[in-house]
Structure 1
Amino acid sequence: MGEPRPDTPAADPPRPAVSVAGLTPMQQAYSDYASHALGCVSCRDIDAGPCGVAEALWQAYRRESDDAYRRLSSSGQ
């Protein structure tokens, strides 16, 4: 808990788990974002904030999630 952390990141950052059955488009978009953010030195630097690629991937995820919500809300009509 109070141990000092090394300044250098791990050689192989953790990756999100993916099922064998595949992901929905929304899940895939988030996985793309998370995989990038876990591996990008700039994104992992809390003082630097997310890089341009991460911003674009996040917006792609938001579009997919908004689309999924619209499809769910319109299917009940």
Structure 2
Amino acid sequence: ARSTYLSEEAIKEIKDLSGKDPNIIHAMAKKYHISPSRVKEYMENRERKQQVRYQNADNFWDKEIESIYDLYSELPY
């Protein structure tokens, strides 16, 4: 099954709303197209390894792209 990857901002929003309202779990599940049990995992700081690997890979490519831009900025035109 394919999992929905959440941005760091989405995960932060879920964690920040933890304990605010009993219906928030279902609201966040609907908003981000994930299961209520997965929302609970984020609220309890139990991210899945798959999500963590995805975020690390994303950060890796952001750094690679930034270094390429830096190289291009040094080229004489």
TM-score (norm: length of structure 1):
0.48
* Greater per-residue helix proportion: 2
Q: Which has the larger radius of gyration?
A: 2
TM-score (norm: length of structure 2):
0.48
